[in-house]
Amino acid sequence: MSGPLRWGVVGTGAIAAAWVEDMGMTDSGTVVAVGSRKLETAERFADRWGIANRHASYEALVADDEVDAVYVATPHPLHSPCAALALRAGKPALVEKPFTVTAAEAEELVALARSQGLFLMEAMWTRWLPHIVAIRALLADGALGQIVLVTADHGQWFAPDRDFRLHARELHSGALPDLGVYPVSFASMVLGTPERIVSLTNPAPDGGDETTSMVFGYSSGAHALLNTTISAKTPTRAAIVGSEARIEIDGDFYRPSSFSLISRDGVETRHEVPHEGWGLRHQADEVARCVQQGLLESPVMPLDESISIMATMDAVRAQGSR
C-alpha cells in the first residue's frame, strides 16, 4: 500500500476524539470516516473533526470502500466484535486497550486476523511514546543490569456515577480494565509474562473493582508491584530497578513524560523528552509502517503478548474475587 493510510473510526467517545485530534500531527494517515450506532452521533463527531464519511452503523463503516484501516474505540465489550467486523471486511484493525474483555476473546480475535492474513494490533499507545522508546533502548543495551523490580501505579478519581462508563458493569467497568491495563502492560513490556500472580481487590458497588493491587513473580527472580484505583489520584509513576541502575519515570508515566537514569552509586542522568500532542498518533504511524511492509503484527506490541496480558488480567480478577 502506498500513500497515507485512510482510517475509519468506530466509536465517538473521548479517546476517539483525542486520537483524531492527534492524527492531525502526522502524515502517515488521515481519518476519512466515522461510524456510530446513531447517525446523529456520527454526524456530530464528523462535523467537529471535519470527517467526510459518516455512517449510522459499524457494519457500514467497515464496508466503506474509502477506508483502508479501522480504529476501534468503542466500550470494552465491543472491542472484539467490532474488530472482527473490520477483519471480516478485509480491513486491518487497531483496537483500543484492553484488547478484549477476556483472554479467550483475544485468542479468537487473533486467530481470525491470522486466518484472514490481516494486520491487527492492540492500541497500547504508551509503547511508542518517545520516553518509552528511549527506555526500551536502555533496557536493550543492558544499562540497568539484571532487572530486580518493576513498580507502576495508575489511579484516577471518578465520582461514583452509575451513568459513567467506569461504573457501568455492563461496560466491563472498574479500575483494572481501564487504568490497570497500563501498569500490567508496562510490566509485561519489561519482564514478560509472570509465573506467579498475587492480587487484592476492593470491589466497587457496581460490581467492578474499585482498587486492585498486584504482585507478579517471574522466573528470573524479578518482581512487579502494581496498583490501580478509580477512587484517588495516585502519583502515576513507574520505575524499573536493576542491579546496576534504575529508571524513574515522572508522572503520568503512560503519557508523554521524562525520566531519570540513576546509577547504583546515585549518579543521576536526566532525560527530558520534548513532545507535542496527546501521543496517540505514534501507534497509527506504527500501523501504517507495518501495513506498508506487509507485516501482520507489530514487533513492539505482538499479538501473543496482548493475549498474555489479557490472561494475566483474567488471573488478577479471578484471584481478587475470592
Which string of DSSP letters, residue by residue, matches 253-315?
A: TTSS--EEEEETT--EEEE-----S-STHHHHHHHHHHHHTT-SS-SSS-HHHHHHHHHHHHH
Amino acid at 151: T
Q: Compute the distance between CA of residue 179 and CA of residue 188 in angstroms, rounded to an integer.
A: 15
The pLDDT assigned to 246 comes to 98
The pLDDT assigned to 63 comes to 98
CATH for 46: 3.40.50.720
Q: Quick one: how far is CA 246 from the chain centroid?
A: 24
Averaged pLDDT, 98-103? 96
Q: Is the pLDDT of residue 5 over 70?
A: yes
Same domain, 102 and 154: no
The pLDDT assigned to 295 comes to 98
Q: Are 228 and 194 in contact (CB under 8 A)?
A: no
pLDDT in tens, 52-92: 999 999 999 999 999 999 999 999 999 999 999 999 999 99
| Last residue of one domain, picked from the residues 105, 124, 143 | 124
* Residue 157 burial (10 A CB sphere; 0-12, 13-18, 19+): exposed
Range(s) of the domain holding residue 99 = 5-124
Same domain, 117 and 221: no
Q: Is the pLDDT of residue 166 over 70?
A: no
Which of the following is catalytic: 38, 91, 97, 233?
97
Averaged pLDDT, 224-229? 98
Percent of the chain with pLDDT over 70: 94
Q: Which of 155-169, 198-212, 305-319 reaches the highest mean pLDDT?
A: 305-319
CATH for 154: 3.30.360.10
User: pLDDT: is 27 or 322 the higher one?
Assistant: 27
Q: Is the pLDDT of residue 159 over 90?
A: no
- CA angle (303, 182, 85) in 5-degree steps: 45
Averaged pLDDT, 198-222? 90
Averaged pLDDT, 260-281? 95
| Last residue of one domain, picked from the residues 124, 157, 189 | 124
Same domain, 119 and 215: no
DSSP strand pairing (29-35 vs 259-263)? unpaired
Same domain, 91 and 139: no
Q: Is the pLDDT of residue 171 over 70?
A: no
Mean per-residue pLDDT of the chain: 94
| Domains contained in the chain, number | 2
- Determine, yes or no, domain membership for 158: yes
The pLDDT assigned to 203 comes to 83
Q: Are 83 and 91 in contact (CB under 8 A)?
A: no
Q: Is the pLDDT of residue 167 over 80?
A: no
pLDDT in tens, 231-260: 999 999 999 999 999 999 999 999 999 999
Three-class SS of residue 50? coil
Q: Is the pLDDT of residue 161 over 70?
A: no
Q: Is 38 designated active site? A: no
Q: Is the pLDDT of residue 169 over 80?
A: no
What's the pLDDT band for 214 if we cut at 50, 70, 90? very high
Same domain, 236 and 201: yes
pTM, two decimal places: 0.95
The pLDDT assigned to 1 comes to 62
